[in-house]
Amino acid sequence: MSDQYTMQDPTTQYPGPDESFEQQQEGPGLQGEMAPKPDSGESSYRGSGRLEGRRAVVTGADSGIGRATAIAYAREGADVVLSYLPQEEPDAREVVELIEAAGRRAVAVPGDVTDKAYCEQLIATAVAELGGIDILANIAGKQQHCPDILELTDEQFDETYKTNVYAMFWLCKAAVPHLPPGSAIINTSSIQGYQPAPILLDYASTKYAINGFSKSLAAQLAPKGIRVNVVAPGPVWTPLQVVGGQPAEKLPEFGASEAPLGRPGQPAEMAPAYVFLASQESSYVSGETLAATGGMPTP
């Protein structure tokens, strides 16, 4: 496992993909059953008090980028409300233990973000349990490859938009009345919002929507002292890829051909972006999309 804090060659900081990456799980998938297992910073992320006393809600907090962000937030001093699907409980339990080991409070709230009532209850639980909320990190996502628009069902299109776009809208709308000045909302786009793959028609279009939504909301909330920003990851090794996000036969080359750094990113490499955008260090940053794409260009 790599040490994130030692200067090194980013092309070899983590291993590139190989035949071991070719695997599939039934959705929603568990990080604990992946091999190689993604690095979400469990052993490498070191905090420095940048979010001391903050109260965060993180969706998709059981695995991948959400897991890495929840761990990083706790080690930076925040209490964390974790949102994840009930089927992801084994992964989520590990995150709860890691947050508590950091001396912070973890509130587990399993449920489905495609349900408006759950989204509203998630925010209400955060306010009740933590006394408020000042960080909302919308990270949960749905991605299913489909090579032909004629095969893309209404059901998949609808679920992708509800997971990636509607949930973000519902959560932001529920959270805003509780967010004090200095709060931060961080949404999650993708390189697919700039370089859409033909097999990810529905997913890529949600990422365009997230960018536009976030820039508009940032302008709307700026007078309230609430910042809204976006992280746009490139190809990152998470359960999203092995539950149909990519064709299994493509995974042995995942990230190697697209990213100039020659490998997929790891969730641990995304978390610092979410920490920066939540912290006071980014006090003059709003309406921005921070790309962490391994060198893949964005406008």
Catalytic residues: 203
Backbone φ, ψ for residue 14 (5° rounding):
-130, 155
Which whole-number Å values give the CA distances from 223 to 171, 173, 207, 276, in the listed order?
Answer: 20, 16, 26, 21
Selection from 192, 217, 219, 187 nearest residue 205 by Cα: 192
* Angstrom distance (rounded) from CA 30 to CA 44: 21
Q: Which amino acid is at 30?
A: L
Helix pair angle (64-75, 89-101), 10° resolution: 20
CA angle at 71 for the pair 235 and 202, rounded to the nearest 5°: 35
CA angle at 255 for the pair 144 and 277, rounded to the nearest 5°: 80
Q: What's the number of CA atoms in the CB half-sphere (13 Å) around residue 284?
A: 0
* Angstrom distance (rounded) from CA 13 to CA 258: 17
DSSP tally for the chain: helices H, then strands E: 8, 7
